[in-house]
Amino acid sequence: MNSQHALVVFSGGMDSATALWWARREFSAVSAVSFSYGSKHNARELAAADAICRKLEIPRLEIPLDFIGKYFHSSLLKTGGSIPEGAYNEDNMASTVVPFRNGIMLAAAAGLAEDSGCSAVILGNHTGDHAIYPDCRPEFIDGMVHAIEAGTGGKVKLLSPFCDMTKGEIAALGARLGVDFSLTWSCYNGREKHCGKCGTCRERIEAFREAGIPDPTVYED
């Protein structure tokens, strides 16, 4: 186990929850940071993040990024259009891109990590994100690895342990680590229950199926 302190960028979804459990195995101390940025599902995500961190007794800071919801355009945001239903692919999900979202969040997380003495920032992106979101792709992660290390004088490293994994593989890993997936939130619509129809719900369903583990999610249909 690494004796240093890790900061997990934690949305409350399946991937970041697995990253949180993974960090607990790999590091002696773990903290979490979540961002409120005006997405349709932000309230549900943040409630999930809060419940998980309370259960694990992990300190979590929530940082407001209200300017994203105010000035940026995306169907993911409360100010945008409808969330697309159907497959989790580039053609269907392009409208959900929030410009440079991960870049903004990682910059804030890197500064917080340096200020609080954390040696690593952990992001739970995966291969399924690559075709849709430019700020989840390996070339972006590589660039941010260098930027964060240079910008913090080598004090903070960015780790992306699932960058080459599918969501199904992440679900399988999470099951082995003991992740309570029933507490996580994925649905972009952010209603009382997962809609079961939007791209992220479809991806979630397929991930549990690929992993061969029970899906604890309560869907509308």
Whether 216 is covered by a domain: the verdict is no
Helix (DSSP H) and strand (DSSP E) numbers for the chain: 9, 5
Q: What is the pLDDT of residue 128?
A: 85
- As a whole number of angstroms, the distance between CA 109 and CA 124 comes to 13
Q: What is the pLDDT of residue 90?
A: 80
**Entry field: residues in the chain:** 221
* Distance, C-alpha 64 to centroid of its chain: 16
Whether 220 is covered by a domain: the verdict is no
pLDDT tens digits, one per residue of 7-63: 999 999 999 999 999 999 999 999 999 999 999 999 999 999 999 999 999 999 999
pLDDT tens digits, one per residue of 125-153: 999 887 899 999 999 999 999 999 999 99
Partners of residue 39 on adjacent β-strands = 77
Is residue 79 within 8 A of residue 67, CB to CB? The reply is no
Mean pLDDT, residues 95-102 taken together? 96
Q: What is the pLDDT of residue 2?
A: 63
Residue 2 phi/psi, 5° resolution? -70, 130
Q: Let me know if 3 is exposed, middle or buried by CB neighbors in 10 A (0-12, 13-18, 19+).
A: exposed
Looking up tokens 């399946």 gives 14
Is residue 84 within 8 A of residue 92, CB to CB? The reply is yes
- As a whole number of angstroms, the distance between CA 2 and CA 33 comes to 20
Question: Token pair of 123, please?
Answer: 């992001």
- As a whole number of angstroms, the distance between CA 111 and CA 156 comes to 9
Mean pLDDT of the chain: 95
Domain that holds residue 15: 2-211
Partners of residue 157 on adjacent β-strands = 120
CATH number at residue 164: 3.40.50.620
Mean pLDDT, residues 93-117 taken together? 96
Domain count, the chain: 1
pLDDT tens digits, one per residue of 159-173: 999 999 999 999 999
In this predicted structure, the answer to whether residue 208 has a pLDDT above a threshold of 70 is: yes
Whether 138 is covered by a domain: the verdict is yes
Whether 221 is covered by a domain: the verdict is no
Q: What is the pLDDT of residue 110?
A: 98
Whether 218 is covered by a domain: the verdict is no
Mean pLDDT, residues 94-98 taken together? 94
